[in-house]
Amino acid sequence: MKLLANTVFAFFVSAILYQGSAEGRTLVIGRVSNNPAKNYAELKPLVDYVAAHMKDLGVTEGAVLLAKNKEEMTKLFLEGKVDWATKGIFQALYYVQVSQAEIFLRSWREGVPSYYTVIFARKDHGIRSLNDLKGKKIAFQDRGSTSAYFVPLAMFKQAGFELTELDSPRSKVPPGQVGFAFAREELNIATWVHQKITDAGAFHNQDWENPEHNPEGMKQDMTIVQKSKPLPRMIEVVRKDLDPDIKTRLKEVLLKVHEDPKAKQALKSYSATTRFDEIEGDAKAGVEEARRMMKFIGPELH
């Protein structure tokens, strides 16, 4: 009952805070959520911090608006009810396409600005390239994962492979195809590969090095088959018609937030974000790489 109350409370407060006061404007951050209480707690400290630096622009408070799915979030962007959101690169590009959102900044997570997907297998399986996985099975995480679903999916499709989702990781793979199943958790992916439930797995390089996701006892028996090109860790997007003064101030505040000790907890709550930077150099190259991959995964985002 307590969890239910917290969940309802998160949606209720989000809606109320969005309305703001009659005298001022509210800065609104949005997210698609299946865990409202958790996501509200993640987002509220940072949007409050940023809003506090916009009082001279008439912004009196920050608010969180949570959507049930990407279609609802698209509607909120188009209606001007959400100003700002954080997304994985492919979801960010989706909102750019369908809701006139604008790619804004790159956000660093857990101290890194970018990451890449690794496709891995047991050393004793003799799998050394994607071609060796034809007729075999691979473990992905879930349909919303950038590094453990969208990227490896694009890698296979770009190489000309046909993939099919399996009812179970133990199901038979159709001849000439690559079968995939969702393991839900990173540790499950590594375990399925190590225990030979699937022939390969995919997640990002930080997972590969993280003993909680890939224990050393299993890692020593496995090898990386192929790596993707680096992509931005996460992307901040804003609606294109956001007031220019507010957009400029938002960028100024986010680019300097890591320098303020008072913002440390807000950044930590914001999915362990450590800083933000401009979309230029390697960040721009990563966005362009994702744009090239979009044609192979676009239908999966709809």
Tokens of 33: 């959520």
- Indicate whether 34 belongs to any domain: yes
Q: Is residue 302 part of a domain?
A: no
Domain count, the chain: 2
- Name the 3-class secondary structure at 205: helix
| Domain presence at residue 142 | yes
Q: C-alpha dihedral over 186, 68, 273, 96, to 10 degrees?
A: 100
Instruction: Look at residue 300 and tell me if it is in a domain.
Output: no
Same domain, 197 and 274: no
User: Which H/E stretch holds residue 256?
Assistant: helix 244-256
- Do 247 and 208 belong to one domain? no
Domain end among 228, 245, 262 = 228
- Cα–Cα distance, 86 to 73 (Å, whole number): 12
Range of the domain at 90: 2-112+232-294
Q: How many beta carbons lie within 10 A of that of residue 271, not counting itself? A: 16
32 residue type, one letter: V
Unique residue bearing structure tokens 């860790």: 233
The reported pLDDT for the residue numbered 297 is 87
Q: Looking at 228, 251, 282, which one is the last position of a domain? A: 228
Would you write out the chain's pLDDT as a tens digit for each of its 302 residues? 444 434 433 444 444 344 444 457 999 999 999 899 999 999 999 999 999 999 999 999 999 999 999 899 999 999 999 999 999 999 999 999 999 899 999 999 989 999 999 999 999 999 999 999 999 999 999 998 999 999 999 999 999 999 999 999 999 999 999 999 999 999 999 999 999 999 999 999 999 999 999 999 999 999 999 999 999 999 999 999 999 999 999 999 999 999 999 999 999 999 999 999 999 999 999 999 999 999 898 767 65
Judged by DSSP in three states, 129 sits in: coil
Point out the domain boundary residue: 228, 249, 265: 228
CB 179 within 8 A of CB 171: yes
Strands 25-32 and 273-277: unpaired
Identify whether residues 237 and 108 lie together within a single domain.
Answer: yes
Question: Do residues 44 and 18 both lie within one domain?
Answer: yes
Q: What CATH number has the domain bearing residue 185?
A: 3.40.190.10
| 37, 86: one domain | yes
Count of beta carbons in the 10 Å neighbourhood of residue 281: 10
